[in-house]
Amino acid sequence: MTPDEISRLLQPYVEAGSPAVAGEPDWPRIYAQLAVYLELILKWNARINLTAIRTPEEIVRRHFGESLFAGLRLGACSTLLDFGSGAGFPGVPIQLLRPGVQVTLAESRTRKATFLREVLRTLDLSTEVWPNRVQAMHADRQFDAVAMRAVDDMEAAVGEAANRASDRVVIIGTARLVAYPALATDFNFEEPVALPESPGGVLLIARRR
C-alpha cells in the first residue's frame, strides 16, 4: 500500500483529531513510515499472529488511524508508556506523530518484543522497548501518560496504569468500558470521544487530580 493510499484512509482520523500537536505534523514523512511499518506487520503477521486484523485497509484504519487519533488528542506530553503494546499500538504511530515524546513500548511476549525492535530499527526510531510486564518496572518509574488498547485483563492493567501515570491515562476502548474503579479516586474522566468510523469505539482520557 502506498503512502498516498494510506493518507486517504487516514483522513477521517486526522481531520477529527484535535489540533493539540505543537506545529503541523510532517504528514508526508509519517505516511511514508507507516507504509514501511505496514509491510513489516503483514510480513511478520503470517508467522507470529501480531494482530487478528489481516487486511491492509483495516490495519490502517483500526490500528494506525485510532492510534493517531489518540496521539492528536494527547496534549502536552514528554514521556508515554504504551502498556501491552503488542504490534506497537498505539505507541509506534504516536511516536511517528510526536517525535519529541519519549515513548516506551511495554510488551512481555518475546516474539512481539522482537518484532517491535525490528520496527524501531527499520524506522530508525529511538523508542524504548520494555520486554517484560509493566509490573516489573522499578516501582518509582513514572510517565506523563500511559496509553493502552486491547489489553488482557483490562481492569488489572488500568490499576497498574494508574500507578505509572503522573498526569493521565489514555484508553482506546469501547463505550461500555468507560468506568474504571481503579481510576475513580485519583483521576477525573474527560467526556469519552467517539472514534471515527467505529460503531462503539471511544477514546477515554482520565487526568490526575
Q: Average pLDDT, stretch 116-143?
A: 97
pLDDT digit string, tens, across residues 158-199: 999 999 999 999 999 886 665 677 888 899 989 999 999 988
C-beta separation of 182 from 204 below 8 A: no
pLDDT digit string, tens, across residues 136-151: 999 999 999 999 997 8
pLDDT for position 184: 82
Residue 46: alpha-carbon gap to chain centroid: 22
- Asked whether the whole model's pTM tops 0.85, one would answer yes
Q: Is the link from the previous residue into 90 a cis peptide, with omega within 30 of 0? A: yes
Range of the domain at 170: 3-208
**Structural domains of the chain, count:** 1
High-pLDDT (> 70) share of the chain, %: 95
pLDDT for position 16: 84
Residue 113, domain CATH? 3.40.50.150
pLDDT digit string, tens, across residues 22-48: 568 999 999 999 999 999 999 999 899
More reliable by pLDDT, 200 or 44: 44
pLDDT digit string, tens, across residues 45-81: 989 989 988 899 999 999 999 999 999 999 999 999 9
